Structure 1
Amino acid sequence: MAGALVLGVAAAGWVYWRLNDNIRGVDIDSALGDNRPARAVTTPSGTASAAPPPTGAVNILVLGSDSRSGDENRQLGGGDSSGARSDTAMVVHVDAGRTGATVVSIPRDTLVTRPSCPLPSGGSSEVAHGAMFNSAYALGGPVCAVKTVESLTNVRMDHFVEVDFAGFAKLVDALGGVTVTTTEDIEDEDSHLSLAAGTHHLDGTRALALARTRHGIGDGSDLGRIALQQTLVKALLEQMSTTDLAADPARLYRVADAATGSLTTDTGLDSLTELMELGQSLKGLSAANVTTVTMPVLPAPSDPNRVVPDEPEAGDLWESLGQV
């Protein structure tokens, strides 16, 4: 019995170490300093020994990228060591009480004023007017992406989460796939997806292809892809809420390993303990209480293939998130 207990503790310790070691952290706060929008007010915690999960509003910038090189990412359409793109950007605003959330997608083709950003190689970039939104990540990684979003929205990003191509596909597979319903046929040679209108259960590779599909739906713009991504996000939330992972420890480990293995976060979430605390605080959040929207945009006067924020509607949207 003593031997079994020791082995059990050792196994649990190894699992924690493995999952914790998977996560990569970036110190956003130190890189950006204090010249940022104010933080949301959080609910005071109780005593240190019995502190409840936080319940204040929280804003999380979620990026889907091909920034990690490797065979798996390249096979799935990712980048290589010579560059990186943030193909998906969503601001997830969780309301105070953490039982409702709004997911705001920012089109990657949006022309913005990109602020001066600290560069990984040292020094800072120049302010750039009329720059494509996703150029911020390519230029200065997650630090510049966060600063650009905060400059665009005037909303503080409390956390940052980046998920890579291969990790997303593995997570969907670990969950047993995801069921989505499309309203029109999809034929996209670039994402290699052929899908008839209707309800489909997709594995990780096909779910990723759906998230990347652009030319096979609507007018071929990024707005059509965003609509598919929002459908996929809600389907994944529904899948996770109806999957009893606690009853299958092996499957729970596969899901946790896939999730943490694909993750880059700010240093406020770069440990398993911190991620579990965030997850605990969101246990009352259901897919039915998640609203998905896209930042209001208009065709850019300088380039019909680009968009610009539609004001004052875009500003009103960001302001409403800052007040909730």
Structure 2
Amino acid sequence: MYLQYLDEPGNDQDSEPPPRRRGRGWRILGWTSVSVAAVLLLGSGAAYAYYWRLDHNIHHEDTDGLIGANRPKKLNNALNILMLGTDSRAGSNAKYGRRMKNDPPRSDTMILLHLSPGGKQALGISFPRDLMVPIPSCARTDGTSSPAASAGMLNTSFTNGGASCTIKTIEGFTNVKIDHFMQVDFTSFKSVTDAVGGVEVCLPQDVNDQDSKLHLTKGRHVIKGETALAYVRNRHGLGDGSDLQRIRRQQQFMGSLAKKVLSAGTLTNPNRLLSLAEAGTKSLTTDKGLGVTTMVKIAQGMQGLSAGKLRFVTVPVAAYAPDPNRVALSQPNADRFFTAIRGDTTIQDETKASKASAASKVPPGQVKVRVFNGTETKGLAGRVAEQLKAQGFQVIKIGSLSSGRSTQVLYGPGASPGAATLAGVIPGAKPRPRTSGGTAGVVDLVVGGDFTSVKARKTAIPKVEGELSADQDICS
């Protein structure tokens, strides 16, 4: 299914939209404003008086109940928030296509905001709407279930079962746990751009597009309100109209918006803060666990985030052989990328990380590990094993021993280098050879009562071709 482009000829506010030719290049801006609003709440104590009002702007969906318990495990304190844009024609949205008023809402903007532990780095991961992936059967809010498909466009998951179905679909092919979602329509877009005082954009050429009513000269502009809406509505005047190029333009706009919001002038302006919070929560739907209070807690953990630490990428994709108008995940790059996201840990000092890497005799991927629980804490060995897997270790067995043991790293014949590597991520553990019962080439980790955690290692989330940083020059 495709969405109606706002800039198609004759598709102004009060006209009937032509059939077919669908898409929505600018809904991403709505969810960006929502995440930004949570950050801005920190800037003024007066904002807390608005809690009740803002919380009652938000609609909630029982995502945990709809998806169920069979979901990826959390390995660390990273936070993943799925941002969705919907083309619902309910209420004031009807003016953007009255003939589609009764159509089921769709989403063509799906971005996973990944916040690294510590809150000082963030990654916005774009998923193309026409990415071909397995679509699972999903429980709907009305009690029915959607059909499964071995391959389908990612945005059909939203049409089939709403935001929770999209979460279930993305978790299925990434194995990354999604903690929350934010779903926004486009009626509040103009007020959001007004609230931040406008967003800087850079045009590669003059644009005089009658369909979107965008009339701007080449170069830099700070746009808001109707002009900003015309810019993001534009299709024919800028680029080639492809989904991937539209995503890149969205990312550039988001980076410029984030840079503006994270600037001192925005954060210290109470009127702008409260206006943005009000605009951001209008027409917002989230999971039950994400209310204003939770947003503020998340924002408190992001106080160290700067524009230079906010990156935007698109998942690695390649041509989809059966249909050149679709894309598929590019393997093995995509799986490596998702593994790095899932295992992201607090970034250590570069010098320390470099020394730790040099001290390791072999990389984790060459170390075979058996993990044994030496305590009465149920499931401890399994949780530790998942953390080790996220760092690349080969966990070949999980078991239990009698309780009351201390944490130990033991190795069999020929496994001394691997034991040194493993000991490097187990605080206080010193490797020693097994006197009996050891297996050649295998390292045993006994998790005892003194165990604290698997030590954080520098995680190299691979750079993706074409990634953008929020602090880069908008005209670069």
TM-score, normalised via structure 1 length: 0.84
For residues 258-291 of structure 1, what are the alpha-carbon distances to aligned partners after superposition, in whole Å with 9 as ceiling and x for unaligned?
0111321111212x21111111111211121111
Kindly indicate whether residue 322 of structure 2 is the aligned counterpart of residue 293 of structure 1.
no
Which segment is superposed worse, 189-198 or 293-302?
189-198
* Greater per-residue helix proportion: 1
Matched, 1:140 2:161: yes
User: What is the SS of the residue equivalent to 2:285?
Assistant: strand
**1:39 aligned residue (61, 68, 74):** 74
- Give the corresponding residue for 1:251: 272
Q: Distance in 1 between matches of 2:185 and 2:278?
A: 14
Q: Which residue of 1 aligns with 2:201?
A: 180
Match of 2:82 among 46, 53, 61: 61
Matches of 1:12 and 1:105, distance apart in 2 = 31
In structure 1, the partner of 2:182 is: 161
1:24 aligns with 2:59: yes
Partner of 2:365: none
SS at match of 1:93: strand
User: Counterpart of 1:282 in structure 2: which amino acid?
Assistant: M
Root mean square deviation, CA, Å: 2.4
Deviation of residue 249 (structure 1)?
Answer: 3.3
Q: Shift of residue 38 of structure 1?
A: 0.8
What is the alpha-carbon distance in structure 2 between the residues aligned to residue 86 and residue 166 of structure 1? 15
Aligned mates of 1:323, 1:13 — CA distance in 2: 35
**What is the identity, as a one-letter code, of the residue corresponding to 1:89?**
M
Alignment of 1:110-129 (within 5 A): 110-129=131-150
> Does structure 2 conserve the Cα–Cα contact (< 8 Å) formed by 1:40 and 1:58?
no
Counterpart CA distance in 1 for 2:75 and 2:58 is 25
Q: Which amino acid counterpart does residue 23 of structure 1 have in structure 2?
A: I
Q: SS where residue 157 of structure 1 aligns?
A: coil
Name the residue aligned to 2:219.
198
Q: 1:293 to 1:14 in 2, by over 3 A?
A: closer
8 Å contact from structure 1 (residues 241, 286) kept in 2: yes
- How much has 1:190 moved relative to structure 2? 5.8
Change (3 A) 1:284 1:209: farther
Is the CA contact (8 Å cut-off) linking 2:66 and 2:141 kept in structure 1? no
Between stretches 180-189 and 109-118, larger displacement belongs to: 180-189
Point out the more displaced range, 178-187 or 24-33. 178-187
Unaligned runs of 5+ in 1: 1-10, 42-55
Q: 1:82 to 1:251 in 2, by over 3 A?
A: same
Contact 1:217 1:225 (8 Å CA) reproduced: no
Q: Secondary structure at the match of 1:103?
A: strand
Separation of aligned partners in 1, 2:69 and 2:88: 27
Kindly state the Cα deviation for residue 188 of structure 1 after the two structures are TM-superposed: 5.9
How far has the Cα of 1:120 moved from its partner?
2.7
Map of 2:329 onto structure 1: 309
In 2, the alpha carbon distance for the partners of 1:68 and 1:121 equals 20
Q: Which has the larger radius of gyration?
A: 2
Find the residue that maps to 1:90 and give its secondary structure. strand
How high is the sequence identity, in percent, across the aligned residues? Answer: 42
Matched, 1:231 2:252: yes
CA distance in 2, matches of 1:92, 1:186: 31
State which drifts further: 143-152 or 221-230: 143-152
Query: For the structure 1 residues 232 and 279, does the alpha-carbon distance in structure 2 shift closer, same or farther, using more than 3 Å as the test?
Result: same
Judging changes above 3 Å, is the alpha-carbon distance between structure 1 residues 243 and 37 closer, same or farther for their aligned structure 2 residues? same
| Equivalent residue number for residue 281 of structure 1 | 301
* Structure 2 gap ranges (5+): 1-45, 345-476
SS in 2 for 1:304: coil
How many residue pairs are counted as aligned between the two chains? 298
Match of 2:340 among 316, 320, 323: 320
More off after superposition, 220-229 vs 206-215: 206-215
Letter in 2 for 1:172: T
Give the aligned residue type for 2:88: S
1-structure distance, mates of 2:96, 2:121: 33
Specify the SS of the correspondent of 2:56. helix
Amino acid at match of 1:25: H
TM-score where L is the length of structure 2: 0.58
The alignment partner of 1:147 has SS state of helix
- Give 1:13 deviation, angstroms: 8.2
Matching residue's letter, 1:59: N
